[in-house]
């Protein structure tokens, strides 16, 4: 009988680069920047790392295939290194691989590192793949973009809950405004500027009804973690360390896009994945027990419907919670404490680890101006793909008891 | 009998106003105005000869068993592939049987009639029984050319067979000449044409008559035996002349469609023939001829079988489904005649893997999905494992055609980031009737036309032009069903549950009927008592209305409770919840009358009226409000009366109760606002059981409830944004009544309370209703009362001056002193200010060589122009309005060099 991951893995070090349009550096420099901070934080040597997991997504630009970009860049001493790719859950996947490796007892200390260098495409947004995204798929799927896919949540949500377009537009503007307000407090964020709801609502449309400020930035960045078991962490003299409480993943079966039940207004995967995660972490009332979250806010509407899929807002009630400020920094469950994808941008391979980095800082009381009072559990959530076919990953971490 | 067994037509939805061509490029080619009448059809960017042929063929096959087709001939001179059989693409798209003979007919404008003749010969010869013949053309010309005006895009199709013939083939006659009115060399994009006068005189007017007369002679008939005459000729006058030459009366000649469509090339004789068939009667003889390196003429005799097409008007339908545009540049872009920048994103590879296209040809070209034998789920694409999560059967799916199944939009967006020929790129999830869905491109529509729930139909269209490899990709897209949006935009109450009190007759009955007609489930409440509320009550009136609703196909239940008691109110709400599960709408309509002059107004008559009107509204609304709050939706209507709003002799009881309802609304609207509960009050003027015998009959007739109910229905709808408002409605006249407060006057001060004498002196001012205001709640009213009028006027008047007394003119007067020469080094700019409003005007600020000059009036060539209202301008300069916010909110608009405008803050330091 499976017993889950709870308290089997300790995070002993983390690192994260400044995110942004890093015209001056490539993926290799970004990896090293995150790695050096992480190594120092863990207080170990490179040779202590026994195996590594490397997350990076976009083949169209970036560092190339296989795990070699990591092993070569860091000159890792011929150890096992595995590359993982699972769209926007890629960073969390790398973390999951490293966690399972130490939890199984196969290794003592493992590294997880995610990186993405996006700003080498010559245009805004994520790279478009054309016929290289699959020889069959591209012959019949719409020529869709990420904002266009996620924007459709809004049309379906309004239709389902009979919400007026203007009311939803205002609520998702608040979602972005809240993240921008948090991002101002974060020196590592790409965008560190306060933006008002009115500005957000007046911004040019990218994919109806999402405007420019409903979309997260596109940036370069890297983040990483070093993990071991709580026993080894204690032997290393670590106190008050952070342990993993849940690691869950849920992938679409294609039901959303080809069967008839889904209304297009939410994420079927997240809905299930969050229940699994709470179960694994022993959380019975997430609205009360989760202290803070970093959810996948690639677009304001994604974050908005995710509140409901995480079962923190009731179905159809996210609008009320948002407008009540429930997810603001001083609200019931502060969300996007570090500014979120909204302010960090979304270098795919790095995002999941970047979210964990903020939760880790908060749990250690090292989040400076953003510090939340005595947080217990932090939740991170990634959503890769499209509302109609996707990958959801959820992690919960907290202080080791 | 052999002949045409079915027909179909397709004209693209878009029509280009020919005058728009002239207006855009007439400066270059003034002569084209001569043929700039009406409009021409124009393909959407994703249409070509193949997609139009598919559309016309689908229209034709609506009435034919396509499994019996043994041949498909496609005629066109504008086929996308020179070597890949185009007819094969059409055949796969139509999902025709594999055992079929397909062929392209091309390289002459008479290719269509050649194809038809071959089909007839083949059926006659007995080798094949049923053949589909489609003709389609999208002819290209260079811009600003007569032929651009003359041509249109379109397609038509026939099936030829030996059973169910609607137009029997009687004979044909052909002539062939190498008459080169135009030609197009292999690999060339455009035609080369010879002089029109020669084409007209030596071509059309000689060759067509030769073939037609040859046919008449061959069949031993005269023009008198012919009822309809079909032949192309884009010269309007010559088209008529040819008929005259042939001895045909003008009314026999089918119009050449110049003003409504243009000449559709190879397809044109077919398209005109479909127009003839739309109105054909059994026995009609139709003579059809083509033109192009000769001519073929046919005679058909319409049979009784045409009756199954009566009323279908296939040609007229496609002709009438149109969207006219004046956007000539769009026409040029759609046809690839201009090449605007598409961005790096458009460079993504577009190579088609032929192996994949072959394996999945039914899916990609035919929109064939699968249907699971185990669970019956239709799905797209067809896969090895059923998508139904509780089935997941393997190898269980049979072919299932989606192309002709109606669908609705489930989700959508208009994407400005995605590469698109007609931005925004529109796509979303579509859901098919009976199951099956996928993420589809939308075509031939604007974003404004798209809605969740909108019915769509599938169209075979181009996806991409792989120009580098000379390949065209096709797939199916969703297009709005013509007229569906209009139908959808009707206010409806689907899924809503309404309570109407006093609904057994009069206004209440009409509210109930109209709500039910538009989808609401209705609780029809009526006590069934006499007008004064006396008597036992009867279930009859409510039951009758319920039956009426059910006869309309609506849902309703009757309720006979008395609104005047709390138990009655509870029961009414309970019957809604029991029957339909919720309550969205409450119309408090029940009422009684007990008129007496005040002298005779006894306590019983006073209380009875209060109980039904005021307490009744409370008794029903209170339990309903709780449910509405839970739901986050509610619409409540109070019924007041002119008697309450304005007074009426003998109705003290009634008018006081009616006005009390306004008070109830005023507070309820505040308590409901957060929960999307809107409360409004209407004062209806209508004849009903209450008033029937008090009104003169002729006025009573004009005062039908139907002239009141539209407002009430609107106020009950999702679309209603009003709350807390009072409306008069009657006889089709609607207005709003409101409680208004004037500016008033402030008298006395803290130490000296005002005296009655002061009041007397100030009565004019206190009474003065200039500048009245409406307050949303008590706090707003109190706040206004506590802000002395003197302050109020200083805060803002409409002279564009603010508290500090700064005016627009002052600002420009002060500008030279505020100029910062240091910041102006190297700046050479002219700023034009257009300030609107009473104290506005035009000023020009010129900065050059480290100096500035301020002038009133306009300049010819400003670097940038700033447009802003006077008060906003003053606020902006005095620091109350952030310039960036003014700009993003649209209060400030800037034309010209926006970047230069940002210098203004550095050049002038006013503060």
Give the pLDDT band (50/70/90) at residue B571: very high
Task: Give tens-digit pLDDT for B223-265.
Answer: 999 999 999 999 999 999 999 999 999 999 999 999 999 999 9
Contact B344 A131 (CB under 8 A): no
Look at the alpha carbons of A232, A235, A238, A240 in this order and tell me if their dihedral is positive or negative.
Answer: positive
What pairs with residue B896 in β-bridges? B864
Task: Give tens-digit pLDDT for B731-781.
Answer: 889 999 999 999 888 888 888 899 999 999 999 999 999 888 888 888 888
Q: Nearest-CA neighbor of A312 among A277, A346, A338, A339?
A: A277
Contact A131 B356 (CB under 8 A): no
Query: Would you state the structure tokens that stand for residue A146, as one six-digit string?
Result: 């990420």
Query: What residue has token string 């059923």?
Result: B386
Q: What is the pLDDT of residue B909?
A: 73
Specify the DSSP class assigned to residue B481. P
Rounded Cα distance between A219 and A224, Å, is 17
Look at the alpha carbons of B441, B444, B448, B452 in this order and tell me if their dihedral is positive or negative.
Answer: negative
Q: What is the pLDDT of residue B796?
A: 41
| % residues pLDDT > 90 (chain B) | 76
Q: What is the pLDDT of residue A54?
A: 98
Q: Which residues of B533-561 are buried (b: 16+ CB within 10 A; e: fewer)?
A: beeebeeebbbbbbebbeeeebbbbbbbb
Query: Would you state the structure tokens that stand for residue B610, as one six-digit string?
Result: 């209060």
End-to-end CA distance of chain B: 95
Q: Nearest-CA neighbor of A338 among A100, A152, A167, A178?
A: A178
Half-sphere exposure for B114 (CA within 13 Å, toward CB) = 21
Q: What is the pLDDT of residue A237?
A: 94
Residues with Cβ within 8 Å of B445's Cβ and at least 6 positions away in sequence, in order, are: B426, B479, B480
- Given a cut of 90, is residue B357 above it in pLDDT? yes
Q: How far is CA B380 from its chain centroid?
A: 28
To the nearest 10 degrees (0 to 180), the angle between helices A348-363 and A90-103 is: 60
- Number of helices (H), then strands (E), belonging to chain A: the values are 14, 11
- Phi and psi at residue A49, to the nearest 5°: -80, 125
Query: What residue has token string 């050449």?
Result: B256
Would you tell me which residues 201-240 of chain A have a C-beta closer than 8 angstroms to some C-beta of chain B?
Answer: 202-208
Rounded Cα distance between B336 and B80, Å, is 14
Task: Give tens-digit pLDDT for B299-314.
Answer: 999 999 999 998 999 9
- Given a cut of 70, is residue B102 above it in pLDDT? yes
Range picked from A359-368, B524-533, B591-600 for highest mean pLDDT: A359-368
Residues of B in contact with A264 (CB under 8 A): 410-411, 429
ipTM of the complex: 0.95
Whether A125 and chain B come into contact, CB under 8 Å, resolves to yes
Rounded Cα distance between A61 and B878, Å, is 50
| DSSP-based three-state secondary structure for A363 | helix
Catalytic residue among A88, A215, A224, A335: A88
What pairs with residue A393 in β-bridges? A249, A382
To the nearest 10 degrees (0 to 180), the angle between helices B540-551 and B506-517 is: 30
The C-alpha angle B323, B329, B333, rounded to 5 degrees, equals 95
Q: Extract the residue ranges of chain A whose pLDDT is less than 50.
A: none
Q: How far is CA B761 from its chain centroid?
A: 60
Q: What is the pLDDT of residue B781?
A: 80
Whole-model pTM: value is 0.78
Give the pLDDT band (50/70/90) at residue B689: low
User: Which of A153, A155, A252 best tests the B interface by mutation, with the highest count of B CBs <10 A?
Assistant: A155
Give the pLDDT band (50/70/90) at residue B697: confident
Residues with Cβ within 8 Å of B20's Cβ and at least 6 positions away in sequence, in order, are: B325, B326, B327, B328
To the nearest 10 degrees (0 to 180), the angle between helices A300-309 and A146-161 is: 50
Rounded Cα distance between A228 and B903, Å, is 57
Whether A148 and chain B come into contact, CB under 8 Å, resolves to yes
User: Which of B356, B369, B381, B439 best tests the A interface by mutation, with the highest count of A CBs <10 A?
Assistant: B439
Q: What is the pLDDT of residue B891?
A: 81
Q: What is the pLDDT of residue B803?
A: 42
What pairs with residue B521 in β-bridges? B497, B555
Q: What is the pLDDT of residue B897?
A: 77
Q: Which residues of B are catalytic?
A: 654
Q: How many CB pairs under 8 A join A and B?
A: 162
Whether the ω angle into residue A149 lies within 30 degrees of 0, i.e. cis, is no
Q: How far is CA A96 from its chain centroid?
A: 13
Specify the DSSP class assigned to residue A57. -
Give the Cβ contact number of residue A50 at 10 Å: 16
Contact A152 B429 (CB under 8 A): yes
Is residue A61 a contact partner of residue A127, using CB atoms and an 8 Å limit? yes
Whether A23 and chain B come into contact, CB under 8 Å, resolves to no
Is residue B851 a contact partner of residue B813, using CB atoms and an 8 Å limit? no
Look at the alpha carbons of B691, B692, B697, B699 in this order and tell me if their dihedral is positive or negative.
Answer: positive
Q: What is the pLDDT of residue B799?
A: 44
Query: What residue has token string 């040597």?
Result: A45
- Given a cut of 70, is residue B885 above it in pLDDT? no
- Given a cut of 90, is residue B818 above it in pLDDT? no
Is residue A347 a contact partner of residue A115, using CB atoms and an 8 Å limit? yes
Burial class (CB in 10 A: 0-12, 13-18, 19+), B622: middle
What pairs with residue B472 in β-bridges? B465
- Number of residues written out for chain A: 401
Residues with Cβ within 8 Å of B572's Cβ and at least 6 positions away in sequence, in order, are: B499, B501, B523, B525, B559, B561, B563, B620
Rounded Cα distance between B848 and B172, Å, is 82
Q: What is the pLDDT of residue B302?
A: 98
A184 or B813: which carries more pLDDT confidence?
A: A184
Would you tell me which residues 322-361 of chain B have a C-beta closer than 8 angstroms to some C-beta of chain A?
Answer: 343-345, 348-353, 355-357, 360
Contact A205 B633 (CB under 8 A): no
Is residue B378 a contact partner of residue B347, using CB atoms and an 8 Å limit? no
Is A346 in the active site?
yes
Q: What is the pLDDT of residue B740?
A: 93
Write the DSSP string, B168-217: EEEEEEEEE----SEE--TT-SS-EE--HHHIIIIIIHHHHHHHHHHHHH
Contact A143 B410 (CB under 8 A): no
Give the Cβ contact number of residue B388 at 10 Å: 22
Give the pLDDT band (50/70/90) at residue B793: very low
Contact B345 A123 (CB under 8 A): yes
Q: What is the pLDDT of residue B789?
A: 53
Write the DSSP string, A239-300: -S-EEEEEEEEEE--SHHHHSS---SSS-HHHHHHHHHHHHHHT-S-HHHH--EEE---SBH
What pairs with residue B545 in β-bridges? none
Alpha helices by DSSP H, B632-691: 642-646, 652-672
Give the pLDDT band (50/70/90) at residue B859: confident
Burial class (CB in 10 A: 0-12, 13-18, 19+), A11: buried
Give the Cβ contact number of residue B132 at 10 Å: 34
Helix (H) or strand (E) holding A379: strand A377-386
The CA distance from B411 to the nearest CA of chain A, in Å, is 5
Q: What is the pLDDT of residue A228?
A: 98
Q: Nearest-CA neighbor of B115 among B4, B194, B33?
A: B4
Q: What is the mean pLDDT of chain B?
A: 92
Is residue B505 a contact partner of residue B514, using CB atoms and an 8 Å limit? no
- Given a cut of 70, is residue B222 above it in pLDDT? yes
Whether A316 and chain B come into contact, CB under 8 Å, resolves to yes
- Given a cut of 70, is residue B788 above it in pLDDT? no
| DSSP-based three-state secondary structure for B432 | strand
To the nearest 10 degrees (0 to 180), the angle between helices B603-610 and B652-672 is: 30
Q: Nearest-CA neighbor of A308 among A291, A326, A328?
A: A326
Chain B residue with Cα closest to A166:
B721
| % residues pLDDT > 70 (chain A) | 100
The beta-carbon neighbor of B356 closest among A132, A135, A145 is A135
Burial class (CB in 10 A: 0-12, 13-18, 19+), A124: middle
Rounded Cα distance between B601 and A399, Å, is 78
Q: Nearest-CA neighbor of A172 among A189, A187, A155, A191?
A: A155
Ranges A114-128, B311-325, B717-731: which has the least confidence: A114-128
Task: Give tens-digit pLDDT for B2-48.
Answer: 999 999 999 999 999 999 999 999 999 999 999 999 999 999 999 99
Q: What is the pLDDT of residue B200?
A: 95
Rounded Cα distance between B821 and B827, Å, is 10
């Amino acid at each position: 009988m499976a017993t889950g991951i709870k308290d089997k893995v300790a995070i002993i070090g983390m690192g994260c680069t400044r995110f942004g349009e890093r015209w001056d550096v490539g993926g290799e420099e970004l990896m090293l920047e995150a790695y050096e901070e992480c190594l120092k934080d863990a207080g170990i040597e490179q040779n202590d790392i026994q195996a590594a997991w490397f997350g990076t997504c976009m083949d169209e630009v970036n560092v190339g295939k296989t795990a070699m970009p990591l092993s070569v860049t860091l000159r890792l001493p011929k150890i096992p290194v595995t590359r993982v790719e699972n769209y926007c859950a890629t960073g969390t996947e790398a973390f999951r691989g490293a966690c399972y490796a130490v939890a199984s007892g196969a290794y003592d200390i493992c590294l997880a590192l995610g990186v993405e260098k996006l700003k080498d495409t010559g245009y805004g947004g994520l790279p478009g793949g054309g016929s290289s995204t699959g020889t069959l798929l591209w012959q019949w799927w719409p020529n869709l973009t990420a904002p266009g896919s996620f924007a459709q949540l809004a049309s379906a949500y309004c239709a389902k809950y009979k919400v007026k377009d203007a009311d939803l537009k205002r609520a998702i503007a608040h979602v972005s405004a809240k993240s921008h307000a948090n991002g101002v407090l974060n020196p590592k964020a790409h965008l560190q500027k306060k933006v008002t709801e009115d500005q957000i609502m007046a911004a040019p449309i990218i994919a109806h009804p999402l405007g420019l400020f409903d979309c997260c930035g596109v940036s370069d960045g890297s983040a990483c973690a070093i993990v071991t078991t709580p026993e080894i962490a204690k032997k290393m003299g670590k106190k008050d360390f952070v342990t993993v409480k849940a690691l869950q993943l849920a992938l679409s079966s294609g039901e959303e896009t080809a069967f008839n039940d889904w209304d297009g207004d939410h994420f079927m995967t997240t809905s299930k994945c969050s229940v699994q995660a709470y179960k694994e972490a022993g959380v019975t009332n997430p609205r009360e027990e989760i202290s803070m979250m970093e959810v996948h806010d690639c677009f304001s509407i994604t974050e908005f419907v995710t509140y409901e899929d995480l079962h923190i807002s009731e179905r159809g009630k996210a609008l009320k919670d948002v407008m009540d400020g429930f997810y603001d920094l001083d609200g019931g469950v502060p969300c996007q404490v570090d500014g979120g994808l909204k302010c960090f941008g979304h270098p795919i391979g790095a995002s999941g680890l970047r979210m964990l980095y903020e939760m880790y800082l908060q749990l250690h009381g090292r989040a400076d101006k953003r510090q939340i009072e005595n947080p217990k559990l932090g939740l991170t959530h990634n959503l890769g793909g499209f509302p109609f076919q996707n990958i959801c990953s959820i992690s919960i971490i907290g202080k080791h008891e | 009998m052999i002949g045409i067994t079915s027909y179909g037509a397709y004209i693209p939805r878009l029509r280009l106003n020919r005058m728009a061509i002239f207006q855009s490029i007439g400066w270059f080619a003034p002569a084209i105005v001569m043929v700039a009448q009406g409009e021409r059809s124009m393909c959407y960017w994703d249409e070509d000869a193949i997609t139009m042929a598919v559309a016309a063929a689908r229209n034709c096959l609506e009435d034919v068993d396509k499994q019996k087709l043994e041949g498909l001939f496609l005629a066109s001179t504008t086929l996308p592939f020179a070597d890949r059989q185009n007819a094969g693409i059409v055949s796969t798209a139509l999902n025709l049987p594999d055992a079929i003979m397909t062929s392209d007919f091309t390289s002459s404008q008479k290719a269509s009639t050649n194809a038809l003749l071959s089909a007839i010969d083949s059926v006659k010869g007995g080798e094949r029984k049923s053949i589909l013949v489609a003709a389609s053309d999208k002819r290209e010309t260079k811009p600003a050319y007569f032929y651009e005006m003359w041509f249109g895009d379109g397609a038509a199709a026939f099936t030829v067979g030996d059973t169910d013939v609607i137009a029997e083939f009687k004979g044909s006659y052909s002539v062939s000449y190498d008459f080169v009115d135009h030609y197009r060399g292999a690999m060339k994009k455009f035609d080369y044409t010879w002089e029109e006068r020669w084409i007209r005189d030596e071509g059309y007017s000689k060759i067509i008559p030769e073939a037609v007369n040859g046919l008449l002679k061959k069949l031993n008939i005269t023009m008198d035996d012919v009822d309809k005459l079909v032949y192309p000729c884009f010269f309007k006058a010559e088209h008529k002349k040819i008929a005259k030459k042939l001895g045909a009366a003008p009314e026999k000649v089918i119009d050449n469609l110049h003003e409504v469509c243009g000449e559709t090339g190879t397809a044109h004789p077919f398209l005109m023939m479909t127009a003839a068939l739309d109105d054909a009667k059994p026995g009609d003889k139709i003579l059809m001829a083509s033109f192009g390196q000769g001519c073929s003429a046919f005679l058909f005799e319409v049979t009784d079988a045409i009756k199954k097409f009566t009323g279908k008007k296939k040609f007229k339908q496609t002709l009438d489904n149109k969207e006219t545009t004046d956007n000539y540049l769009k026409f040029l872009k759609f046809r690839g005649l201009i090449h605007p920048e598409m961005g790096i994103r458009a460079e993504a590879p577009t190579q088609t893997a032929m192996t994949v296209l072959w394996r999945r040809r039914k899916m990609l070209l035919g929109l064939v999905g699968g249907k699971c034998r185990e669970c019956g789920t239709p799905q797209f694409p067809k896969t090895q494992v059923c998508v139904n999560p509780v089935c997941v059967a393997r190898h269980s799916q049979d072919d299932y055609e989606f192309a002709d199944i109606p669908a609705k939009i489930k989700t959508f967006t208009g994407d400005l980031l995605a590469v698109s020929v007609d931005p925004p790129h529109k796509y979303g999830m579509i859901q098919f009737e009976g199951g099956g869905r996928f993420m589809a491109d939308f075509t031939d529509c604007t974003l404004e036309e798209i809605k969740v729930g909108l019915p769509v139909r599938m169209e075979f269209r181009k996806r991409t032009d792989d120009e580098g490899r000379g390949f065209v990709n096709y797939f199916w897209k969703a297009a709005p069903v013509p007229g569906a949006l209009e139908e959808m935009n009707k206010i409806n109450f689907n899924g809503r549950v309404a309570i109407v009190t006093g609904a057994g007759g009069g206004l209440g009955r009409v509210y109930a009927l109209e709500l039910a007609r538009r989808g609401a489930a209705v609780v029809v409440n009526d006590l069934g008592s006499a007008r004064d509320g006396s008597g036992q009550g009867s279930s009859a009136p409510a039951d009758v209305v319920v039956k009426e609703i059910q006869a309309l196909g609506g849902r309703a239940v009757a309720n006979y409770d008395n609104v005047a008691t709390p138990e009655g109110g509870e029961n009414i709400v309970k019957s809604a919840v029991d029957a339909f599960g919720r309550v969205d709408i409450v119309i408090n309509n029940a009422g009684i009358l007990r008129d007496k002059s005040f002298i005779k107004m006894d306590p019983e008559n006073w209380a009875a009226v209060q109980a039904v009107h005021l307490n009744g509204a409370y008794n029903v609304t209170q339990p309903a409000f709780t449910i509405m709050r839970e739901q986050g939706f509610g619409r409540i209507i109070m019924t007041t009366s002119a008697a309450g709003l304005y007074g009426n002799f003998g109705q003290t009881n009634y008018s006081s109760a009616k006005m009390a309802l306004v008070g109830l609304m005023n507070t309820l609207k505040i308590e409901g606002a957060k929960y999307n509960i809107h409360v409004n009050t209407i004062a209806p003027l209508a004849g009903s059981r209450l008033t029937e015998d008090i009104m003169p009959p002729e006025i009573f007739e004009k005062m039908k409830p139907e002239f009141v109910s539209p407002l009430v229905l609107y106020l009950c709808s999702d679309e209603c944004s009003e709350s807390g408002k009072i409306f008069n409605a009657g006889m089709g006249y609607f207005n709003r009544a409101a409680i208004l407060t004037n500016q008033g006057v402030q008298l006395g001060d803290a130490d000296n309370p005002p005296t009655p004498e002061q009041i007397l002196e100030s009565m004019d001012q206190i009474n003065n209703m200039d500048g009245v205001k409406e307050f949303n709640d008590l706090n707003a009213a109190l706040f206004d009362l506590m802000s002395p009028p003197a302050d109020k006027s200083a805060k803002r008047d409409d002279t564009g001056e603010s508290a500090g007394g700064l005016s627009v003119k002052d600002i420009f007067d002060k500008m030279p002193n505020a100029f910062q020469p240091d910041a102006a080094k190297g700046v050479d700019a002219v700023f034009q200010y257009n300030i609107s409003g009473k104290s506005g005007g035009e000023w020009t600020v010129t900065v050059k060589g480290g100096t500035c000059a301020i002038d009133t009036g306009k300049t010819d060539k400003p670097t940038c122009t700033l447009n802003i209202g006077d008060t906003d301008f003053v606020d902006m300069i005095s620091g109350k309005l952030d310039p960036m916010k003014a700009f993003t909110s649209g209060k400030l608009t800037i034309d010209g060099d926006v970047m230069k405008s940002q210098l203004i803050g550095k050049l002038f330091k006013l503060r």
